[in-house]
A and B are shown apart, each in its own frame.
Chain A
């Protein structure tokens, strides 16, 4: 069973559209993350949720809205897509207590291409 799964793996869409990427983890973790990896391969944190509460919100346009219906899911909705949103988006999870909070488990990524 996949520990952290993202859907879809590939997404091609037009500028101005709205799209969502879903993430689910079956590890029983209480913290989930969204990262963005751009064409230069820099991996940047976007959001983090702990027990469905937002705890990290980096400088990300308001067009990006994360939603965590429960501890096992963290979805990413993007409104009014722009060319610069093209990237690979990675979801991750960790157990948010103790010295292993930095041990993140990543999904395989969702490659978004905006035309």
Chain B
């Protein structure tokens, strides 16, 4: 699977948009971009994923650059409960491939 690079930590004010970047310059054509988060001591939680097109769901938006070498997860109106470690993962879309978690970005949402 392609490697990803994320900033180790970020801050965001409550109510503002949180934009979390991820670089995956070696991504191949059949690899999806997945985002997960882990709130302290809980199991990781799936947020969103995409292949080429931008995606949006009730939790977040995923913007993937045209060359697919980077992406941004957007939490439109961050709340204190969004404080968590966010993981960007690229993976082939097949159950025979593991989802490998890196170090992620620790997002702190402040009042």
A-side interface residues toward B, CB under 8 Å?
Answer: 4, 31, 33, 35, 41-45, 48, 50, 55-56, 58, 90, 92, 94, 96-109
Bound-state Cα–Cα, A94 to B95, Å: 8
B95/A31 in contact, CB under 8 A: yes
Bound-state Cα–Cα, A99 to B94, Å: 7
* Between-chain CB contacts (< 8 Å), 11 pairs: A31-B95, A33-B98, A41-B85, A43-B38, A43-B87, A56-B97, A90-B43, A100-B49, A101-B94, A103-B46, A107-B43
Which of B21-29, B58-66, B73-81, B99-107 is the interface stretch?
B99-107
How many B residues touch A, CB cutoff 8 Å? 26
Chain B: which residue is nearest A4 at the CB level? B43
A48/B41 in contact, CB under 8 A: no
CB of B89 within 8 Å of the partner chain: yes
A50/B43 in contact, CB under 8 A: no
Q: Which of A45, A50, A105, A109 contacts B95 (CB under 8 A)?
A: A50
